[in-house]
Amino acid sequence: MDQIKLTPGKLLNVYGNLNEAGYATSLVKEYHRHDIKAKKLRIKEWDYYYIGNQEYGIALTIADNSYMGLGSVSVLDFKNDFWHTNSVMTFMPKGKTNLPSTSEFGDCHFKSKNLELSFFNDGKKRRLLCKMKNFYKKYDFSCDVELYDEPKESMVIATPFNKKKHFYYNQKINCIRASGNATVGGKKYFFNGNDSFAVLDWGRGVWTYKNTWYWSSLSGTYNGKKIGFNLGYGFGDTKNATENMIFYDGKAYKVEQVTFHIPTNSDGVEEYLNNWKFSSSDNKVNLTFEPIFDRYDKADVLLIKSIQHQVFGKFSGTLKIGEETIEIKDLVGFAEKVTNHW
């Protein structure tokens, strides 16, 4: 498929539609909340960080979905087969969270009775600070993590929906080195910049009501060089570009269509904890995914419905970059299928 590369300029035109649909390796389009022409309660903005290594990870989220705000913390211990998520929701923030209009710099904060969560970004380094009371049972959570050595190239996509004034503008920055620690009660998790990496999922947009998407991410090392990928589909009209990229030694390499082969039983029900397969139409991705656990979450409240299967596990197989074939083995990442009605 021919994939269209975005050019610099404003993301939205005067009617609130995308000026261009396509991909880039940096945030070349200018996003401003006030340019949106759809109903204000449909605007969604979020910053999600996952920080991890081969043994454990944490995930931190600040989101302003206009009618609902969110601050969320997850701890994922692959060695001990343990995970826990605790979230705080707020009512009708309607943009008052003041999430930055760019990922390149700017701070964001979420504060409630039991949660203080801050993402600092001065344009050179990022620092993630969090304190949460009664995160798990009676144990508090805290973390202080610095992110640095950020690659210059990332996955950026501007995707329309089959509805006017609706769009999805997203950046995934993989392979950011992470240094610091997180604590749950007396348990401490250390992140070393040599073996611990972060991915930022930065998103802004106006979605349609019902969506199902697939997303997979990995950041690690191969022969002393950083390697990772962003794979996904199902969200919006991606005829102009996919969000699939391989990252190696600081450079991004485009991939065409990718399929997540999730195993099913005899009744057609997906079995998320059995081994998956990943393949791409251009044969650049050929992977097996061995799950460790499924961070499953379900919400069904009034008009809001969400079913999330975020599965963490080990990837093995091949990634092709030009004429070079890289074989990875047992690198920890995640793959998810999420269905939302909101």
Global model pTM greater than 0.85 = yes
> What's the length of the chain?
342
Answer whether 121's CB lies under 8 Å from 107's CB: yes
pLDDT in tens, the chain (342 residues): 789 999 999 999 999 999 999 999 999 999 999 999 999 999 999 999 999 999 999 999 999 999 999 999 999 999 999 999 999 999 999 999 999 999 999 999 999 999 999 999 999 999 999 999 999 999 999 999 999 999 999 999 999 999 999 999 999 999 999 999 999 999 999 999 999 999 999 999 999 989 999 999 999 999 999 999 999 999 899 999 999 999 999 999 999 999 999 999 999 999 999 999 999 999 999 999 999 999 998 876 666 788 999 999 999 999 999 889 999 999 999 999 999 876
Answer whether 295's CB lies under 8 Å from 249's CB: no
Alpha carbon distance 195, 337 (integer Å): 27
Alpha carbon distance 134, 307 (integer Å): 25
**Predicted local confidence at residue 8, as pLDDT:** 98
The residues spanned by each domain of the chain are: 9-341
9-10 and 29-30 as β-strands: parallel, antiparallel, unpaired?
Answer: parallel
DSSP string, 231-291: EEE-SS--SS----EEEETTEEEE---EEEE--B-TTS-B-TTSPEEEEETTS-EEEEEEE
Which token pair is 15? Answer: 């009617």
**Predicted local confidence at residue 302, as pLDDT:** 61
**Predicted local confidence at residue 164, as pLDDT:** 97
**Predicted local confidence at residue 282, as pLDDT:** 96
**Predicted local confidence at residue 139, as pLDDT:** 97
